[in-house]
Structure 1
Amino acid sequence: MVGTTESHEPHVVALCGSLRDGSRTKIALESVLEAARENGATTELVDLRSYELPSLNAVEPEPSDADHLRATIADADSVALGTPNYHGSYTGALKNALDYCRREEFAETTVGLLEVAGGEFPGSAIAHLRTVSRTLHAWPLPTEVAVPNSRTTITDDGIEDDAVADRVRRLGHDLVAYADVSSYPETVESGTTGAGSGADD
């Protein structure tokens, strides 16, 4: 795989920005992680409902779950950020979680972006998360997933639209294939080879 060695099993973490029971974003992220596992990764889904993360107040002591979140992100070779579209952007829950993180956790980490929208024209939340990822010195993949019409596209049984499902699997694959993309020139020089798929333009 591009940028990874045969002896290293990439670890992919998905951070779900939805707090809703039966979240379609969570269902989509689980499909991303399933594809990552099929491509040789270990995976972990971060459900923010399990974390005690009050709105960040810089003058207040941080909750212990902030350290837990940062450690989880720091341990990842790749991170998938998934969010529903709320008023043209990503959720406050995800923003708050990212506010607790620092550049040290995300720097040189491969990031994949996924947005789930109730309407026909998703994409703005991904654009905002791409800016955040770059600010955190991460490496956002060109491959991204924008899911439209989520009420019919994603059900309890999974992703019903074959094209969207293929795109989700591609994201999971690329999160593994490019898990160490920040060191790609060095790994090529040292003789590491692999069969990365090439990311979409």
Structure 2
Amino acid sequence: MHILGISGSLRRASFNTALLHAAQELMPDGTVITIHDLHDLPLFDQDVEAQGDPALVVALKDAVTQADALLLACPEYNGGITGVLKNAIDWLSRPGVSRDAAPLAGKRVCIMGASPGVTGTVRAQDQLRLILRRAGAVVEPQGEVLVFQAHTKITDGRLSDERTRDFLARHLNHFLEILA
């Protein structure tokens, strides 16, 4: 099983990227999570798309197409998803060069998120679910991973809170059961 992980944060010490690394550690044998970086992904522009997807967009679309599922780590900025994550979804909602289906069409997605706030990333995850459904993705499982007060649970880039690690492991295993 190959899962592509994408963090909606570009920050070097991102709590959400740390969650992806924790997910890599917690996955059972036989399941691999590859993290795809969104740095330098160009802004979606239909004029640029009409001339052919830029190389970084092609690489992202190929990575999503080849993955069995996606694991999105969703920060919350101003009560919503980040521009970086929305931009990636905009590109992924469009067909590739061969005009096949968009990479997100029918792709199974698991969402999680971490924030220093007391509500985690609940508003951003709700918004992300709506956007992903509109793009044709299938968001599962229905439960949420909302890591609130992340600065107390993620230390030196590692998810150190055992209760949160246990919850994340159970959530990921449930997602894998759905994929099987």
Q: How far off its partner does 1:157 sit?
A: 5.7
Aligned sequence identity (%):
27
- After the TM superposition, which residues 39-188 of structure 1 pair with which residues of structure 2 at under 5 Å, given as runs? 39-49=29-39, 52-60=40-48, 61=51, 62-102=53-93, 104-122=102-120, 123-141=122-140, 142-156=142-156, 158-179=158-179
Q: Which residue of structure 1 lines up, in the alignment, with residue 24 of structure 2?
A: 33
- Between the aligned partners of 1:19 and 1:115, the Cα distance in structure 2 is 14
- Between the aligned partners of 2:29 and 2:176, the Cα distance in structure 1 is 7
CA contact (8 A) 1:85 1:125 kept: yes
Q: Which residue of structure 2 lines up, in the alignment, with residue 198 of structure 1?
A: none
Q: TM-score, normalised by structure 2?
A: 0.85
Query: Residues 14-73 of structure 1: CA distance to partner in whole angstroms, max 9, x if unpaired?
Result: 11111011211111111123323x252122111212xx3221111124311111101101
Q: TM-score, normalised by structure 1?
A: 0.77
CA contact (8 A) 1:83 1:90 kept: yes
Q: Which residue of structure 1 lines up, in the alignment, with residue 98 of structure 2?
A: none
Bigger CA radius of gyration: 1
CA contact (8 A) 2:89 2:132 kept: no
**Bigger mean CA deviation after superposition, 57-66 or 23-32:** 57-66
Query: Residues 112-145 of structure 1: CA distance to partner in whole angstroms, max 9, x if unpaired?
Result: 1111111101211110111122112222111321
Runs of 5+ in structure 1 lacking a partner?
1-9, 181-201
CA contact (8 A) 1:13 1:73 kept: yes
The RMSD of aligned alpha carbons is 1.7
